[in-house]
Every structure is written in C-alpha cells, then in structure tokens.
Amino acid sequence: MKLHKLSAVLTLLMVSGTLAFAQGKTFYVSASTGSARSDGLTAAKPMKDLQKAIDAAVDDDTILVAEGNYLGSLDRGYIESGRFANATHDMGKFISIYGGYSPDFSERDITKYVTKLQPTDQKFTAPLFNLNARRPYGYSGPEGKVVIDGLVFDFGENNIYCVADVKNPVTGTPNEGVLTGRFVEPNASPNCPKVGFANGDEYGLHLDVEGNIRISNCIFVNCRDYGICALMGKGHMEISNNIFISCRYAACQVKGNVRDADIPLVSLDFHHNTVLFTWTRTKAFEDMGQGFRFMNGIRTIDVHNNIFGCNSNCAVERVFYESNKAMESAKISNLYDNYFFANRRDLELAAPGAATISVSAARIEEAEQIGPKYEGNVEMPENEAFINAIDKSYLEGFMTLKIISSQSYNPNSAANQVNRLFGLNQQGSEIVRPSMYCNKYPWEKAKDLFGKVAGYGAQMPQ
C-alpha cells in the first residue's frame, strides 16, 4: 500500500498507478475523530458525516474518508449526491471520493482502514449511494470528473434472510458454515424464522453521469439489486479493480443515456474486476443473475482481464440490440482476456428462433456479436490461492446447489370449491426450494480476493 502525505492546500493521490493532483478544495471525513460542526478543510479537524461533506462540496472538489461506517445524515442508511431518478432537475456534482484512510489521514490502505456504507437496522427506499453528475443542456465547457475509490458497499447487515438451519429445507441453508439461510425476496413470507430489516429492490451504487467517470478499488457485497447500476451520458466510464460478490440481479449494468446521434461519444471499460456469485431475481432461478451485461446506447465497451466465477445465470450477457441495423453494426462489444469458472453459462447471446444461446469461454470467438476483440477468454487455470480466498462454506454450498420443485392440488380447498361453483379452472400450488439462494457472504472475506491472480481480477489496490 502507498502512504499519502497530505496537506490542506494540495493533496497528492496515487490513482491507478499515476500521480494526479486534486483540483478544488479537499474535505476530510472521519467517523471516529470528526466533528459534526467542523468544516472538514484540514486533516486535523475533519467532518464526521460523509453526507455533509458531499453537500458542502462543489465541482472538482475531493473528499478523503477515513475508516468507519457511513450511514448518511442522522444515520438514515444511505448517501446521495443529487436525487435518485431526477438528474434532469437535480444534476448533482462532479466530485471525487477516496476511502481507506487512517483516522489521522497519514496513511491510505483500503483493506486495513475500511470505509463502509453498511446499513444495519435502517429501513429506506433508495440506492445505498446515488450519484448524479450532469451538465445543463447546451453546456460546452470542459468535461467533468467523478471518482469513487476505496469504498465497501454492503447490504448484508440490512437484508432479510431466513435464519440458518441446515435441518429445515425451507431456509435454504446449504451447510453449517454459511452465515444465513437464503435471501427473502420482496413480498415473500417463508415459514421460518427470519433475520434482517429490509428486502426491497435497491441498488448498491447508482449513477446518472457523464464526462470522465472512474469506479475503482471498491467492494460490492450482498447487494440486493445490482452492485452498480448506471446511466451514462457523453463521456467515458472506467470500472476497474473492484470485487463484486453475492449481488442479486446483476453485478454491473451500465446503459447509455443519450440521443442516438451521441452514442458514438459514449464508451465503457470494465477491467480487472472479480465477479462472483451473482444471483437471479427469484429463488426459482427464472431470470437475471448476470455478472456483466452489454447494454445499448454505448458505442464501445471493453470487458477484459476480469475473473467471472459462480454466476447463477451467466458471467456475461450480450442480448440487447440497438434500435436500427446501422447502429448495431457500428457497436463494438469487446470481450477478451478474461478468466471464467463454474458459471452456469460463460456468455449468453440472443438468437432468432431460440430464447438464448449459451457459449462457453472456449467458443467466444465464434460469437459474431462479440468483437473485434475476442481472444484470450479461457477457463481459469487451477489457482489454489484464489480458491482458498473464497469463503469455503459459501463456495461448497454453491457447487452443490440443488433446486427442488413440487406441485400440489387440493380439490377441497376453499379456492377450488368457489372456482367449481363459477366454472373456473382449478388451482394448484408450486413450491420451489433451492438449497441456497443469495445467502449472506462475509464481507470481511471479500477483501481477501484482492491480488490473488496476477493480471486477472482485482489486483492489490495502489
């Protein structure tokens, strides 16, 4: 890890291997040493509340955040820069946020000084962190910049799960070592004890942005509705060196959010990420469950040097087509130099006359929708250090996953008696019981996955 000597006037940061000088003001935030009334403009007198620092910041400002758990104003459970789903009127701001600092800001090590967004007993309807960064229509000035670096996004202490019980199949507990039973979907009421506080469909990190965007060195764990879900305007987004583990719906989804004429000005680079255990939308494993999704509205997407493992639907999905043939033919969907292991499918494609087509890593070069770069996608070579870094009980539970489905029909049920009276169809019931579904992953172990495979997946943060 690198040491950062900080001053209130000029902050020197190590960013992706290159030195960059922060522009604007620098705010300091520390949950343990900060004050609610401080202006946070010196390391000696930091703010206590990350939300307060975001509210005080303006374009080009930088926020440095020490270890701790940050829950928003008065511990409401979430952070925001601009209102969710309202970037047209609440455009947010272009700021940079770096977590992982020691309380005195003399050192930065994101695995030692953990900066968390980890709600506990809060009930709220919002992304864990929503960030808008948009310019007014007709703006012609310089591109804005957004950085999110070194944060842990964890819903695991807040989600509703069945209480672990290997003797009760209703709970979806695959073995004694897994922390909880299965995740309880919204509006579901399994007949078993439960633990947790909220289960609505909420994102880990939601972005509605444009310009130069980077999300790096973060952990997205136990997110109940996407790790990252983003709308991208004109500009470039880089998502690099992150760990996504036990997220539901999809680990990462970025859609272009521009008019058709501006699609060539939108690009995305998803690289050196570790993406494990992405779960489907429901316990019946009907849909979703993708590690990465190629979406529309982005001209060039590069997906490379990632590790995709144990994703319950597919590692990578490419099923969406642009609105006309010309735009589709100009689309660049590069997928190269990635490691795959134990995914239900490595690549999922749309196809005429079939629901979808499953493509193994070894045959990605045959997928015409991928390219022009398609080389180097392979099954992950045996790597004991990487496998040992995954929580053993969780991995064993996934590798032995079973789904039991049963149907029943009671002609004398009250519903069927009424249906017969009115000449309606008789009704039965179906029970789907997976041995495991989106169970809580121990967030502390997620950071053990940094730097386990040279050149692939999340490397040791710099």
For 182-191, the pLDDT digits (tens) are 999 998 999 9
- State the number of CA atoms in the 13 A half-sphere of 227 facing the CB: 32
Residue 65 pLDDT: 98
Which residue spans of the chain are classified as CATH 2.160.20? Answer: 12-385+439-449
CATH fit for domain 12-385+439-449, picks 2.160.20, 2.40.160, 2.60.40, 3.90.550: 2.160.20
Rounded to whole angstroms, the Cα distance separating 407 from 349 reads: 32
Q: Is the pLDDT of residue 398 over 50?
A: yes
Higher pLDDT, 317 or 425: 317
Report the pLDDT averaged over residues 390-409: 86
Rounded to whole angstroms, the Cα distance separating 349 from 291 reads: 14
Higher pLDDT, 247 or 2: 247
Residue 252 pLDDT: 98
Residue 21 pLDDT: 42
Dig out the tokens for 266 from the structure. 């939108």
Kind and range of the H or E run holding 326: helix 325-330
Higher pLDDT, 15 or 84: 84
Confidence of residue 413 (pLDDT cuts 50, 70, 90): low
Amino acid at 77: G
For 353-363, the pLDDT digits (tens) are 778 999 999 99
Confidence of residue 427 (pLDDT cuts 50, 70, 90): low
Residue 4 pLDDT: 41
Report the pLDDT averaged over residues 380-402: 97
For residue 167, give every residue at least 6 positions away whose Cβ sits within 8 Å of its Cβ, in sequence order, or none: none
Q: Is the pLDDT of residue 396 over 70?
A: yes
Report the pLDDT averaged over residues 308-328: 96
Residue 409 pLDDT: 47
Rounded to whole angstroms, the Cα distance separating 346 from 316 reads: 6
Residue 414 pLDDT: 63
Q: Is the pLDDT of residue 418 over 80?
A: no
Residue 130 pLDDT: 97
* Average pLDDT taken over every residue of the chain: 91
Please report where in the chains the tokens 């049963």 appear, as a residue. Answer: 406
Rounded to whole angstroms, the Cα distance separating 245 from 460 reads: 17
Q: Is the pLDDT of residue 104 over 50?
A: yes
Please report where in the chains the tokens 């699609």 appear, as a residue. Answer: 263
Q: Is the pLDDT of residue 257 over 80?
A: yes
Q: Is the pLDDT of residue 5 over 70?
A: no
Supply angle C-alpha 312, 386, 98, rounded to 5: 85
Confidence of residue 156 (pLDDT cuts 50, 70, 90): very high
Higher pLDDT, 430 or 204: 204
Query: Residue 261 in 3-state DSSP?
Result: helix
The share of the chain scoring above pLDDT 90, in percent, equals: 84
Q: Is the pLDDT of residue 76 over 50?
A: yes
- 143-167 burial, b at 16+ Cβ within 10 Å, e below that, comes to ebbbbbbbbbbbbbbbbbbbebeee
Which residue from 242, 293, 233, 291 is spatially nearest to 267, judged by alpha carbons?
233
